Amino acid sequence: MRIKPFGLLGAGALLLVFSLSLFAHHGSSAYESKLTTLKGTVTQFQFMNPHTEILFEIKDDSGKTQKWSAEAASLLSMTRLGWNKNSFLPGDQDTFIGNKAKNGSYSMRLSKVIFANGKQTVIDRGEDYASQ
């Protein structure tokens, strides 16, 4: 059986088209463009790939507890900023600044953290850097 050159070329093109989605990554379209600031109590810190995540609770205006999650950059990016698995411990009171989810869920794309001691970490998705 002989493989025709155009058939091989077509199969290669299809493979390329479908494999491109493997390299795709979600953007920020699921989040509002304006920043929201929330002061909360850390309940859990997940220092993992593909994104580190901080789970925290806040009290709303009526005194009810809301459970939030803040998605940060990758483990490698956050390590470069000096974060480690002990950067956030349950009970820590920190301020989280980020873009809230458009769907109304209690989640945000993290842009900045102000720790209880006043230290700040800015997470810019294009270029990660820390400030004191």
Residue 95, in any domain of the structure = yes
Q: What pTM was estimated for this model as a whole? A: 0.73
- Residue ranges making up the domain that contains 121: 27-131
Q: Is residue 2 part of a domain?
A: no
- Asked if 90 contacts 44 with a C-beta cutoff of 8 angstroms, the reply is yes
Let me know if residue 83 belongs to a domain: yes
Q: How confident is the model at residue 12 (pLDDT cuts 50, 70, 90)?
A: low
Per-residue model confidence (pLDDT) at position 125: 54
Q: Is 7 a member of any domain? A: no
- Which residue, among 23, 17, 28, 52, has the nearest Cα to 102 in the 3D structure? 28
Let me know: does 34 contact 99? Beta carbons within 8 Å: yes
**pLDDT > 90 fraction of the chain, expressed in percent and rounded:** 56
111 found inside a domain: yes
Number of domains comprising the chain: 1
